């Protein structure tokens, strides 16, 4: 029997991620590596991974990730390798009315599964607001709303910045979420969500529509989990480009 | 040096909890035990705990808990012992308008720290809704709202049912939460929350006021964490009866 | 666009699981349901699920699970449905030498994805011990060892009890784990692990071999995560019957 | 009723931590703030906190933390304030024999509760190995061992580097843990742990003894959780300088 996928799980390492603005952002990645290698696991995987993180870790980006993965495969004489880096990523965002700036945090990840550049999957978990259309329709005033997390995974033909994908996802919910809001901003987001009611399936459809229309996205998956304010459980919807009847 | 607090952490065991209605509810407890004992830790703690859970575990209640703890101390020849059982607890709750019944789940725990019966702490984590007064006041329509978890810890002179404490906590938020709501119920909870806006500190004050007025509660702590629908972070407030300027 | 997979996530419900011994075990399940349904999500999914859990929940078993899933699909007029129940499951286990009995807890789950009975996946997470062959070989005495969690997922043609699958998994590591061990038992498990050193990939291979040879298992996946005692990260290996070069 | 402790919970922010070597380390902090303030919670807390993190966040150290906290209190007109920052912290560590360097990650936190500098608590969670003395004594060969996490909290009169505290904690277990070990290193740590067996209470006693003897530590708490390799539960011990019968 030929064993696939030996590896290491949950090792943390400080990395720098290339930002759209041209600078690099310091963050901390949680890393998992799986390889199909004839080398002895006992020390080689960790040693090679840490060595290459030292070499590549201060300039991680979608173009650089496949190069790191390729060198990892070569050094480990592996038939295949899968590397995932998950990290908090910060984007300065301006409040919608007062334009007060604040850092928003998003969880993002890169997953590479071969040496083909287009196998790279970029993933992001984006907090948003959903407001229930049913609750709005039947109530004299108000409508229940809640934080909802949208997860997007994409493969792509041409490079796309995390900043642009996150912005696309944020436009798909009842309203986007901010770290810092002054009173005029809070009025704005409250009213915008009320004017824009969405079930989880509506948010999934909207983000999936945007992803389908994006010229560089070749595959995607969109999931929305809404932490219902009137229940203890979550509402959930998911779609992938494979199963869409487009 | 005299070592305090050797123990075992995170052992699961099936238990039955005495319900207000007279029956016993099957659930699964996560158990932590700390003791100050001269006995060898290597096997005695686990052996004694599992043995006594076998004896007491099928009828756990605030009156029975101190008896279990006392026997544990005696068998382990301990100067002191602290036992915590945390478990999901289910209560059948009727929707507010249609009276449709559904099981609601609450996390609850019992913590005993000595052989005095009144040292028992009952804790519960109760999901509720909070609706922001500021957002309501400044917006043309709507108001942001979200799930908020209220944690109540109490010591008591006379026995109180978990059911009654949970019901008291639920009355302290903008609206309570249900597992199952039909359309007329959803209209009711949406409107009730809108009519009853509360910051986290308002909810803390209301539950603290109810706890202060309760004739059997001798000490309490109330904390509210609101999973803000317009932010990624939580709003939080806490008060204990010790620090209240009553 | 035809949306797949709307659902509810993370709802808890008390259930009874059919045991090998003929009795039923009370536990608490964490439940996720995804359906492709034309019905309005707002209330129907939860209402139908809770109703059917009331009907089926007190006798959950691999044969009963598909019946529950089928009725769920029919009531929701769904093209497809996926239901997962994850629960702590307790088995009384005797210590290897003194035969002292103690309850061991395992996380288990059932996942059904269609109305075909053989699509049911049974999963279990089994704590075991792994002892490093490399460390044993190179050291004068001792060898590092640690808790390792083995996850097994199986599809099957003929019914298999969770008890039998768990027992099969436990035979695949350096040594199995117990809730309660007396001194002669502790001597036994220490020596057995030392006599039986295994890397994560060895444990995966052994369990995969047993699963391959089982007449009723038609598909499986085995993963082992070893919480290395000499590192902060885990060693990991995984194989599925699809990718095995058997 | 005068409400204490309104705040925000679980906001992430990139910070730089002052290192012993003179440089500053980029990491990401999880931040919780509680204040007793007459100001309106709705926006002021977050706005003030984010503003001051912008000012102080690129040079966080035990001396700078109280200054940040003091300015926070002043701006919020608060009677009291409590600020916690928890972050992964990396230290380059050399393997014991081959001296191969690798980055080790530790979770650390700073908690300030007033404007007095000596109220600052530094906390760290340090992975180590414990090897069971009982298992070693009764077995022909081998001894069960496992990863054990030691948590140390300290108050201090004179500044102490995180690097020095972590090194002190690591000397208190059966053996310390590394990110990268070559074969001669693995032989060393295996044998060292075997030569140095410790129950959780032994590790607690040893670290408590070192903390007691440290001239700058004015208060401490030490807890050890050992993820037993022969059980599913953890062994646990804890002591604080308050309760030690020294």
Give the three-state DSSP class for D77. Answer: coil
Residues of C in contact with B28 (CB under 8 A): 27-28, 88
Nearest to A126 by CA among A195, A190, A178, A194: A178
Indicate the average pLDDT of chain A. 91
| Through-space distance between the first and last CA atoms of chain D, rounded to whole angstroms | 41
pLDDT of residue D39: 64
Separation of alpha carbons B127 and A233, rounded Å: 10
Higher-scoring residue by pLDDT: C246, A130: A130
Contact predicate A180/A102, CB 8 Å: yes
Contact predicate C168/C211, CB 8 Å: yes
pLDDT of residue A183: 93
pLDDT digits (tens, 9 = 90+) for A209-224: 999 999 999 999 999 9
The runs of H, that is alpha helices, within chain B are 41-56, 64-75, 133-138, 162-170, 183-195, 200-213
Query: Number of CB pairs < 8 Å for C and D?
Result: 132
Angle at A66 between CA A113 and CA D16, to 5 degrees: 105
pLDDT of residue A43: 64
Higher-scoring residue by pLDDT: B166, B46: B166
Nearest to C172 by CA among C203, C199, C193: C203
Give the three-state DSSP class for C102. Answer: strand
Question: CB neighbours (10 Å) of residue A127?
Answer: 25
Separation of alpha carbons B207 and D177, rounded Å: 47
Domains, chain A: 1-87 (3.30.1130.10), 120-246 (3.10.270.10)
Residues of B in contact with A144 (CB under 8 A): 129, 145, 186, 189-190, 193
pLDDT of residue B113: 86
CB-nearest to B26 from C14, C46, C181 is C14
Q: Scan for tokens 């030690």, then name that residue.
A: D244
Packing angle of the helix pair D41-56, D64-75 (nearest 10 deg): 150
CB-nearest to B10 from D199, D234, D243 is D234
Separation of alpha carbons A58 and A148, rounded Å: 32
CA distance C203 to chain B (A): 25
State the pLDDT confidence band at A47, using cuts at 50, 70 and 90.
confident
Packing angle of the helix pair A41-56, A64-75 (nearest 10 deg): 150
**Are C189 and D230 an interchain contact pair (Cβ–Cβ within 8 Å)?**
yes
pLDDT of residue D63: 84
Q: Scan for tokens 């901003």, then name that residue.
A: A185
pLDDT digits (tens, 9 = 90+) for B42-51: 567 888 898 8
Enumerate residues 85 to 124 of chain B having a beta carbon within 8 A of any beta carbon in chain A. 104-105
CB-nearest to A183 from B138, B193, B228 is B138
Residues of A in contact with B199 (CB under 8 A): none
pLDDT digits (tens, 9 = 90+) for D30-64: 999 998 877 665 567 888 898 899 899 999 998 88
Q: Is B188 part of the contact surface with chain C (CB cutoff 8 Å)?
A: no
Nearest to B233 by CA among A63, C243, A105, A198: A105
Nearest to C229 by CA among C136, C130, C154, C150: C130
CB-nearest to D12 from A46, A105, A182 is A105
pLDDT of residue D170: 98
**Are C41 and A205 an interchain contact pair (Cβ–Cβ within 8 Å)?**
no
**B156 bridge partner residues:** B217
Separation of alpha carbons A158 and A217, rounded Å: 8
Dihedral class, residue C178 (left if φ above 0, else alpha if ψ from -120 to 50, else beta): beta
ipTM field: 0.92
pLDDT of residue A4: 56
pLDDT digits (tens, 9 = 90+) for C63-78: 888 889 999 988 888 8
Burial string for A81-109 (b: 16+ CB within 10 Å, else e) reads: bbbbbbbbbbbebebbeeebebbbbbbbb
State the pLDDT confidence band at D78, using cuts at 50, 70 and 90.
confident
State the pLDDT confidence band at A243, using cuts at 50, 70 and 90.
confident
Q: Which two tokens stand for residue D6?
A: 């309104």
CB-nearest to B208 from D1, D204, D232 is D1
Nearest to C85 by CA among C117, C39, C115, C49: C49
Is the pLDDT at A172 greater than 80, yes or no?
yes
Is the pLDDT at D2 greater than 80, yes or no?
no
For range A37-63, the mean pLDDT? 82
- As a 3-state breakdown, chain D gives helix, strand, coil percent values, each rounded to 5, of 30, 40, 30
Is the pLDDT at B208 greater than 80, yes or no?
yes
Separation of alpha carbons A49 and C199, rounded Å: 19
Nearest to A130 by CA among A217, A231, A219: A231
Chains that touch D (3 or more CB pairs under 8 A): A, B, C
**Are B50 and C25 an interchain contact pair (Cβ–Cβ within 8 Å)?**
no
Mutate to test the interface with A, among B229, B232, B233, B235 (most CBs of A within 10 A): B229
Give the three-state DSSP class for D59. Answer: coil
Separation of alpha carbons C64 and C57, rounded Å: 10
Nearest to C42 by CA among B191, A141, A237, A199: A199
pLDDT digits (tens, 9 = 90+) for A9-27: 999 999 999 999 999 999 9
The runs of H, that is alpha helices, within B76-199 are 133-138, 162-170, 183-195
pLDDT tens digits in sequence order for chain C, 246 residues long: 455 578 899 999 999 999 999 999 999 999 999 988 776 655 678 888 988 998 999 999 988 888 899 999 888 888 888 999 999 999 999 999 999 999 999 999 999 987 565 689 999 999 999 999 999 999 999 999 999 999 999 999 998 999 999 999 999 999 999 999 999 999 999 999 999 999 999 999 999 999 999 999 999 999 999 999 999 999 999 999 987 644
CB-nearest to C139 from D134, D147, D191 is D191
Nearest residue of chain C to residue B48 (CA atoms) = C180
Q: Is D30 part of the contact surface with chain A (CB cutoff 8 Å)?
A: no
For range B30-54, the mean pLDDT? 82
Mutate to test the interface with C, among B93, B179, B189 (most CBs of C within 10 A): B179
Residues of D in contact with B245 (CB under 8 A): 1-2
**Are A238 and C4 an interchain contact pair (Cβ–Cβ within 8 Å)?**
yes
Contact predicate A146/B147, CB 8 Å: yes
Q: Is B193 part of the contact surface with chain A (CB cutoff 8 Å)?
A: yes
**Are B232 and A105 an interchain contact pair (Cβ–Cβ within 8 Å)?**
yes
Give backbone dihedrals phi and psi of A68, rounded to 5 degrees, phi first.
Answer: -60, -45
Q: Is C41 part of the contact surface with chain A (CB cutoff 8 Å)?
A: yes
D47-51 long-range Cβ contacts below 8 angstroms, 24+ apart: D47/A100, D47/A180, D47/A182, D48/D72, D48/D75, D48/D76, D49/D8, D49/D11, D50/A102, D50/A103, D50/A179, D50/A180, D50/D13
Nearest residue of chain B to residue D40 (CA atoms) = B134
State the pLDDT confidence band at D245, using cuts at 50, 70 and 90.
very low
For range D176-203, the mean pLDDT? 96
Residues of D in contact with A85 (CB under 8 A): none
pLDDT of residue C115: 59
- 3-state SS, B46-71, equals HHHHHHHHHHHHHHECCCHHHHHHHH
pLDDT of residue B115: 59
Higher-scoring residue by pLDDT: D161, C46: D161
Separation of alpha carbons A98 and B131, rounded Å: 23
Separation of alpha carbons D145 and D133, rounded Å: 10
Is the pLDDT at B1 greater than 50, yes or no?
no
Chains that touch A (3 or more CB pairs under 8 A): B, C, D
pLDDT of residue C107: 98
**Are C180 and B46 an interchain contact pair (Cβ–Cβ within 8 Å)?**
yes
| Total-model pTM | 0.95
Higher-scoring residue by pLDDT: B38, B49: B49
Separation of alpha carbons D166 and D105, rounded Å: 11
Give backbone dihedrals phi and psi of A147, rounded to 5 degrees, phi first.
Answer: -70, 140
Q: Give the CA-trace dihedral at B133, B134, B135, B140, to 10 degrees.
A: 100
pLDDT of residue C39: 64
Tell me the residue ranges of DSSP E strands in A95-170.
Answer: 101-112, 121-131, 145-156
Return the percentage of chain D with pLDDT > 90, whole number: 76
The runs of H, that is alpha helices, within chain A are 41-56, 64-75, 133-138, 162-170, 183-195, 200-213
DSSP A38: S
Q: Which two tokens stand for residue B108?
A: 């609850």
């Amino acid at each position: 029997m030929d064993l696939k996928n030996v590896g290491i799980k949950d090792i943390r390492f400080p990395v720098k991620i290339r930002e759209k603005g041209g600078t690099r952002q310091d963050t901390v990645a949680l890393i998992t590596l799986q390889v199909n290698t004839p080398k002895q696991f006992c020390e080689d995987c960790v040693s090679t991974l840490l060595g290459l993180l030292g070499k590549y870790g201060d300039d991680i980006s979608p173009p650089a990730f496949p190069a790191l993965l390729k060198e990892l495969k070569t050094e480990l004489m592996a038939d295949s390798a899968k590397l995932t880096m998950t990290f908090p990523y910060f984007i300065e965002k301006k409040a919608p009315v007062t334009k007060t700036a604040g850092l928003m945090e998003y969880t993002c990840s890169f997953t590479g599964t071969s040496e083909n550049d287009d196998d790279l999957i970029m993933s992001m978990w984006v907090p948003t607001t959903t407001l229930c259309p049913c609750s709005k329709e039947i109530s004299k005033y108000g409508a229940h709303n809640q934080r909802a997390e949208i997860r997007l995974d994409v493969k792509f033909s041409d490079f796309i910045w995390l900043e642009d994908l996150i912005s696309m996802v944020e436009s798909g919910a009842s309203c986007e979420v901010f770290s810092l809001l002054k009173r005029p901003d809070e009025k704005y987001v409250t009213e915008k969500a009320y004017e824009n009611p969405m079930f989880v399936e509506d948010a999934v459809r909207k983000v999936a529509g945007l992803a389908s229309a994006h010229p560089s996205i070749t595959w995607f998956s969109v999931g929305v989990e809404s932490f219902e304010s009137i229940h203890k459980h979550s509402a959930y919807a998911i779609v992938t480009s494979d199963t869409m009847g487009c």
